[in-house]
Structure 1
Amino acid sequence: MTKAPALLLALLVLTAALPLPAAAAASATGSVSIHCDFPGQVVEAGETATFTLVAANDGSADQIKMWAENFAGSRDWEMRFVDGTTEVNRVSIPKGGSKTVTLEVETAADTPIGDYPLKMHVGDGAIWLYVTISKTHTGELGTLQVLVTDKDGEKVKGATVDIYRGSESEPFDRVMTTADGRISTGLPQDVYHLVITKPGYRSAEKKDVKVKCGITTDAGTVMLEKSSYAAEVTVKSALITTPAGKNPTFELTLRNVGKADDTYRLSTAGLPEGWYARYKEGAAETSDISEIFVPAGGERSLFLEAIPPYGVTVGDYFLTATIESSSDAYTEDMTAKISGSYEMGLSADRYRYEASMGETVEFDVSVRNLGNAGALTGIRFEVSAPQGWKATVTPTNITSLQPGESKKVSVKVVPPSSIVASEYKVTLKAVSDQGEESDEFRIVVKEQSFAAIAGLLLLGAIAGGVWYYFRKYQRR
C-alpha cells in the first residue's frame, strides 16, 4: 500500500513537467486563465507572427505582469506585448474580468524551417504558442529602403547615404538618392547606422536600423534642413582631352541651394608647374572673373580654362577647382589630358619657277612630321597640274616618318609645248594614314626664243614701213 502514493506522486511530477496542449493551457491552480483562438501560426523567417490572447482574472490581483519564454532555435527572436503601437509589460484586469492582449513575435530571417514553441505568462497563468517557419532566408541579402525629403516634403535628389555597420568607423556602403529621393540597396543582416548628407543641407542620422536577410526593411523618411549659405557644383566632365597647343576648358554649373543670396569666390589649387587657370562666364570670353553673385535658388554657368605652358608634353595633369560660399568651400578635382597631335608639313626653297614650253621643271619638297603623337605612316603623293601637263613625284611614297624627322621628294612637271605663255598653279598633296597636307607652287611658262625673234623682226618691219612712208609722203 505504501507504493501507490509514491507512484501517484511521480506521475504528478512528470505531468507537471510536460507541455500542456493548447486546449488545456490555463493553469489549474492559477488565478489567471489565458485563451487563444489560433495558438499556432505559419510565417516566413523574418516575418512577425501576431497572437491575440484573452486573459481572465479569477483572483484578487489587479495589476498583472506579462512575460514570454522562448527556447532553442528562437533565442534571437524578439517578443513584445503591445497595446496598439505601445509596448506594455503589465495589464490591469479586475477580479472576474478579462482583457485582450496582443503578442508580437518577430522571427529572425535566418531561422531554419521548422516548428518552434513559445510559452507566454500573464501573472500565474501560462499558455503554449507555436510558430511554424515555412521558408528561411539564410545567406540572402536584405534590402534597405530610405526616403529623404526636405522640411517642405520635397524629395531630395543626390543626397549621400553613408551606411555604417555596427560600431565601425568607415562606411560599409555609400549610396545616392534617386530623383524621387529614395535609396534601395542590398545589405547583409545586421544593425546599421545611417548618415545622410547633401551640400546645402544640414546632415541627419538614423540609428539602430535592423536589416534582415531576404527581407525588405523600410527605414522610413529622413528630413534634411536647408543651410542659409550653400552651393551645389556640377562639372559636365571632370576629364578633358585636348591636343598640345589647345587649352582644356571645363564647364561647371554653380547652383545656390542655400536660403540666402550669396557671392561665391572662385579659385584653383594644385596647378601643375607652369600652368595658369582662369574662370570665365562664357567659353568664348576673353576676360576672367574671380567671384560671382548667385541669388537663392538660382544657378550660373562657369568655364574654367586651364592654360598649359608652351611645349607641354603629352600626359595627364591635375588641378582642383575651389568655390567658396559665405560658410563653406567646395572643391572639384579635374584632369586635363594632353594628347599627342599628328601634323605634317610641306616646304620648298622656292614656290615660283620659270620654264619654256615643253621644258621640264624639277624642284625638291621637304616632308616633315611636325606632330608629337607618333610616326606618320603610309605617306603617298598626289600632284594636281593643268590639263596636258606631265607630273611625277620621286619617291612615290614614304613608309614611315617619326616626329621631328623630314625627308625630301623630287617633283617634276613638264608643260605641253603648245601651251600659251602664262602663270600656272601646281598642287602637291601628301596623304598619310593619320592625315593630309598640301602646298601650291607657281610655274611661269615663257614663249619659245624663235617666236620672240620673229616678233621682234615683225615689229622692226612695221617700224621700217612706217618710216619709209613717212619720208616718202613728207617730201610731197
Structure 2
Amino acid sequence: MKLKAALSTLLLLCLISGALMAPAQAGTVYSSVFSGTVNDGETKSAGGCFVSFEITNGSVHVEVTSPDYGSDDAYVPAGNAYYFKNVLRIYIASIPTTSSAVVDISKTTSSTSGTGIKVYCDTPAQNTLAGDEVSFPITIQNNLASDETLSLSSESPGGWSSKYDYNGKDIYQIYVPASSTKTVNLVVSTPYTSSIGQQTVYVKVGDSTLELYVDITSVNESVDVSAKLSSQIVYIGDKIYYDLTLDNLQAAENVYQLSVMGLPENWYYMYLESRSSSSELAETVVPASTQKSLVLCIVPPYSVSAGDYNFTARITASSNQTITKDLALKLKSGTSMTVNVDKLAYTASAGQTFTMNVYVTNSGTGSALTNVYPEVTAPSGWVVSSSPETVSTLKSGETQTFVISAQPPGNIVASDYDVSVDIMSDQATDTEEFRITIATSSYVPFVAGGIILVVLVGLVFLYKKYGRR
C-alpha cells in the first residue's frame, strides 16, 4: 500500500510538472496558484477570476468568468492547456474518473514581449446600418512592472468619426497601472452616405496597433421626420394642423411622396407648405442635407364624434423606403348657444299682457345643452312668465322657442322700460335686452276732447248772455 501511495504521489508530481511545461504564449511567464484534483461542478478562484469545471465525454469543460475580462469557455482534453485572455492558464493533467480531474491553474506574472502592452478586442468585426454607431470594447493589458500612460488614436474611412469613451468621458490618453488591465470603448460613427460593404478602422494604443472591421449591411433612413406636436387636443369644428419637419439625411436631393395612413372613414388630409397656403402637396423636394417644414392638415367630417384618434404620416423616398410618424388626436365636444328674437322693441299698454318670442339654438358640436331656461328681469310690479319654463336637453343643431309673457301694472306711467331675458343652461348662457314702450291709454283723448268741448260751450253761453250789453 505504501508503494502504491508513493507511486500515486510521484504520478501527480509528474502531471503537475507536465502542466508547468505545457505550451504557453510566447514571452509570458506563469506562476501556479492551484495544483490538484477538482470535482465535477467545482469552482476555483484564481487571479481574480472564477474557474468552473465540468467533466464530460472524456474532457473537461472549463468556464472562466472575470469582472474585468468577461467570460469564456472551452473543452480541454487531458494533456492540453487553455489560456484565458493571457491572464490564466488552465492545464488538464489527467481525468482519472468521470467525476474528477487533476488540473493546474497558473496566472501571468510577467511579459517580455515587445513593449509589454497587449491590446485586443473581443468583437473586432461588427455589422451595422449606414448612419448608426458601433462601439468596440478595447482591452489594454499592461504586462510591465511600471505604470503606463498611453496615447489613444484611430483612423477611419472618410466622412466617418470615432472617439474613445471611458466611463462616459471622451479621452485621448489612458492610465494603466502595472500588471493591470483597463477597457475603453472606441465609438465609431458612420454617415448615412456610407457605402454597403466592409470598412477598416485602425486603432493605435501607445505603440500597439489593432485593426477593426465595420460591415455596412444596408443603407439607413434617408429622411428623418419630426413633429412639433405629435399629440393634440382640439374641439370639434376647430382646424387641426400638425407642423412637420423633413430632414434629408443624404448628400443628394430627394423627392418624397406624402400620404397618411389610418384615417377614419370620410376623413380628409392635406399637406401644405404653410398654414396660410391653399395648394395641396402630393410630394415635396428636399435639397441634400437640408430640412424642410410642412403642415399636415386633418379634416374630419362635421358629424365626427368626440374621442381619441390615431393615424400615421407616411413619407416615401424615391428608393421606396418609407418613414412614418405616429400622430394622435383627441377631439372634445364644443358647446355653444345662439339666441335670436323677432324684434328688440315692443309697444304695450298699461295693464295689458304682451308676448315676446326667444329662439335658443344649440350651435355647438357634439354636446347637448342641458337644463335650458329663461330668466326674465323686469321693472317692479310687472308680471312675467315663460312657456315652456325649462327644457331638460337641447341637442346639437336643435332650436327651442320660449314665449315670454309680460304684463305691466295698470297704473304705470307711459314711458320706455327695459326687460332683460337671460337664457341659462349648464354649459352656456346668453342675454337679450328688450325696450318696452308703454303708450298712453286710448280714453285719454276722449276725456281731453270732452273738456275742450265743455269749455267751448261755456264760452258761447257767456258770450250770448253778456256779449250784447
Shift in CA distance, 446/130, structure 1 to aligned 2, threshold 3 Å: same
- CA deviations 1:415-448 (Å, max 9, x no partner) are 68666745x6644333333x21325253340431
- CA deviations 1:199-226 (Å, max 9, x no partner) are 95669999xxxxxxxxxxxxx9989899
Give the aligned residue type for 2:161.
D
Give the aligned residue type for 2:347.
E
Give the aligned residue type for 1:26.
S
- 1:203 & 1:352 partners in 2: Cα distance? 83
- For the pair 1:12 / 2:12, whether they are aligned, the reply is no
| Equivalent in the alignment of 1:26 | 17
TM-superposed CA distance for 1:344, in Å, is 3.6
TM-superposed CA distance for 1:343, in Å, is 3.6
- CA deviations 1:138-171 (Å, max 9, x no partner) are xxxxxxxx9936823499xxxxxxxxxxxxxxxx
- 1:26 & 1:397 partners in 2: Cα distance? 108
- CA deviations 1:222-260 (Å, max 9, x no partner) are 898996982110134444444433343222111122122
Report if the CA contact (8 A) 1:25-1:35 is conserved. Answer: no
- For the pair 1:148 / 2:141, whether they are aligned, the reply is no
Report if the CA contact (8 A) 1:263-1:291 is conserved. Answer: yes
TM-superposed CA distance for 1:312, in Å, is 3.7
- 1:350 & 1:9 partners in 2: Cα distance? 132
Report if the CA contact (8 A) 2:54-2:62 is conserved. Answer: no
- For the pair 1:257 / 2:253, whether they are aligned, the reply is no
| Equivalent in the alignment of 1:325 | 317
Report if the CA contact (8 A) 1:242-1:337 is conserved. Answer: yes
Report if the CA contact (8 A) 2:244-2:295 is conserved. Answer: yes
- CA deviations 1:86-130 (Å, max 9, x no partner) are xxxxxxxxxxxxxxx9854899xxxxxxxxx95367xxxx97228
SS in 2 for 1:449: coil
Give the aligned residue type for 1:277.
Y
Where in structure 2 are the equivalents of 1:35-434 lying within 5 Å? 36-37=30-31, 39=33, 49=47, 70-71=53-54, 75=61, 77-78=63-64, 103-104=84-85, 118-119=90-91, 128-129=104-105, 148=133, 151-153=160-162, 200=192, 230-269=222-261, 271-314=263-306, 319-327=311-319, 328-348=321-341, 351-356=344-349, 359-371=352-364, 373-383=366-376, 393=386, 397-402=390-395, 408-413=401-406, 421-422=415-416, 426-433=419-426
With structure 2 as the length reference, what TM-score do the two structures score? 0.51
With structure 1 as the length reference, what TM-score do the two structures score? 0.50
Residue identity (%): 25
> Which structure 2 residue ranges, 5 or more long, are not aligned?
35-42, 67-81, 94-101, 108-127, 135-158, 171-187, 199-211, 457-469
- 1:28 & 1:323 partners in 2: Cα distance? 66
Give the aligned residue type for 1:428.
V
- 1:449 & 1:456 partners in 2: Cα distance? 12
- 2:53 & 2:240 partners in 1: Cα distance? 69
Report if the CA contact (8 A) 1:148-1:222 is conserved. Answer: no
Once superposed, what is the RMSD of the aligned Cα atoms? 5.8
Number of residue pairs matched by the alignment? 333
TM-superposed CA distance for 1:304, in Å, is 0.9
SS in 2 for 1:75: strand
- 2:347 & 2:190 partners in 1: Cα distance? 76
- CA deviations 1:376-435 (Å, max 9, x no partner) are 33445444567997765566654444556665544344568666745x6644333333x2
- 1:402 & 1:287 partners in 2: Cα distance? 36
> Which structure 1 residue ranges, 5 or more long, are not aligned?
1-6, 52-67, 81-100, 108-116, 132-145, 156-177, 181-195, 207-219, 465-476
